[in-house]
Structure 1
Amino acid sequence: MSGYGGDAVDFSFSLVVMGDSAVGKSLLVACTQPATAVDVPSMEPQFGLQSKVHTYESRGALYKVQMWEVPGAPRYLQGASRYASLAAGVVLVFDVNRRPTFERIALWLDAASSTGSQLPMVLIGNKADLPPSASRVSSGEAEQFASRHGMQYFEASAMANQGVTEAFSTLMATVIGQIPNPPEPSLLVKTRIQIGRKLADNRAFRAALFDIPSVPQ
């Protein structure tokens, strides 16, 4: 990613949501829609992937966040690294009552990590509101896994919309915290964040970024 994005936002970036089938990825993404957000209709699926675009405002800046949901079928594992290579952050999801979905998180993590970049990530154990099964993954076990891999762990219920905002907000804050000041484009390339048209068209920003002397009035 380089150059200026065409959207009337300050910055834009992508998040990738990964995990096995039927762990609740789609509903988790749906829960991220703030009441005050400007929602852009979903894009047509590409190679089975679903894309949802939200526009968020935080501390006076406007962000376009594109969320890619990778299907959970095993055949998509190989292609997951491609989308991770374009993303600024990754959300890994498993079903707390289906242990195999937790055990396979390591495979999704490997796919996301194969890009060679230290991407910000969070781990979500979804469906925590359901009655515990015999194979339920404990919070302590999931937290230990997340800690070993430099992530934070969140138990959530997409159905009840509990814990979802906290997980995504934490990842968003980490991603946004990487934006250098000033946000010089060549430095942003490493974070996979783009400058949007709103900021690029700001005269004061251009003057600061390119050291343009101010013109006397």
Structure 2
Amino acid sequence: MAYEYLMKFIIVGETGVGKTCIMNQFTEKRFDPVYDVTIGAGYGSRIITVHKKQIKLQIWDTAGQEKFRSITRAYYRDAAGALLVYDVTKRHTFERLSSWLEDIWQQGDTTVMVVGNKCDAGEDIRAVSAEEGEEFAKSNRCLFIEASAKTALNVAAAFDKTTKRIREKMGYGDVKEVDEALGINIWNWKGFRIGRTRNDENIDGAAASKRFNSCSCG
């Protein structure tokens, strides 16, 4: 399928919050109750339509373990959008958001969507309220949504809303749009470029990550 823009997205957050499951649900419409811990970064892609434009999202699912943090920071460069994910049932993953956000913004003014994953969990095990998540996002100039990688609730919406915000920045003039006549492979703003179907970066998703068996990522 042809596309007009190529945007780089990253998914960031503590280990076990469901980053890989969110990417798999969005790109492949599947949920794995047992997942593989990401080392470095996994990769997926999907073409969506925003403001009547076909946009291909290149999505990098980054490792959440502290020991791989220096490696994963390299993937933050030139990201147009970021999903900053926490687990609503594990408060420490919410309390670590500021640290992850600082890493993202050290690379530039990336558009960030804060995602409270596992919102399908019962209220009896919820550790972070929706109001707390929304307040954090608002105070840090981020978008906010609660989602469930397990049920697919709001997973697509998280990517769609982030992409729409980037497009709005283009309309406001905050992002300079380059004429399509300049051709493919012309980067016109950090994180995306004008383009048509091709092999892009010839990315091999399997080679982009190594994994170990681990626990549920709901």
* TM-score (normalizing by structure 1): 0.73
Conservation of the 8 A alpha-carbon contact between 1:80 and 1:111? no
Question: Offset at 1:80?
Answer: 3.4
Question: After superposition, what is the alpha-carbon deviation per residue over 1:81-120, rounded to whole angstroms, capped at 9, x for unaligned?
Answer: 32221211110000001001111111111110111x2111
Q: Please tell me whether residue 152 in structure 1 is matched to residue 151 in structure 2.
A: no
CA RMSD of aligned residues (A): 3.0
Quote the residue 1:113 is aligned against. Answer: 105
Quote the residue 2:46 is aligned against. Answer: 54
Quote the residue 1:39 is aligned against. Answer: none
Candidates 26, 35, 51, aligned match of 1:32: 26
Give the stretch that moved more between structures: 60-69 or 20-29: 60-69
Quote the residue 2:83 is aligned against. Answer: 91
Question: Offset at 1:128?
Answer: 0.9
SS at match of 1:145: helix
Quote the residue 1:194 is aligned against. Answer: 193
Alpha-carbon distance in structure 1 between the residues aligned to 2:188 and 2:71: 22
Quote the residue 2:213 is aligned against. Answer: none
Conservation of the 8 A alpha-carbon contact between 1:88 and 1:175? yes
Alpha-carbon distance in structure 2 between the residues aligned to 1:70 and 1:182: 29
Alpha-carbon distance in structure 2 between the residues aligned to 1:178 and 1:83: 22
Aligned residues: 183
Conservation of the 8 A alpha-carbon contact between 1:89 and 1:119? yes
Q: 1:126 to 1:178 in 2, by over 3 A?
A: same
Question: Offset at 1:191?
Answer: 3.5
Q: 1:154 to 1:146 in 2, by over 3 A?
A: same
Candidates 11, 29, 52, aligned match of 1:17: 11
Question: Offset at 1:165?
Answer: 2.1
Alpha-carbon distance in structure 2 between the residues aligned to 1:166 and 1:134: 24
Conservation of the 8 A alpha-carbon contact between 1:78 and 1:111? no
Candidates 83, 96, 101, aligned match of 2:93: 101
* TM-score (normalizing by structure 2): 0.73
Q: Please tell me whether residue 125 in structure 1 is matched to residue 116 in structure 2.
A: yes
Question: Offset at 1:60?
Answer: 4.6
Q: Determine what percentage of the aligned residue pairs are the same residue.
A: 26
Structure 1 unaligned regions, length at least 5: 1-6, 36-45, 199-217
Quote the residue 1:137 is aligned against. Answer: 128
Question: Offset at 1:132?
Answer: 3.1
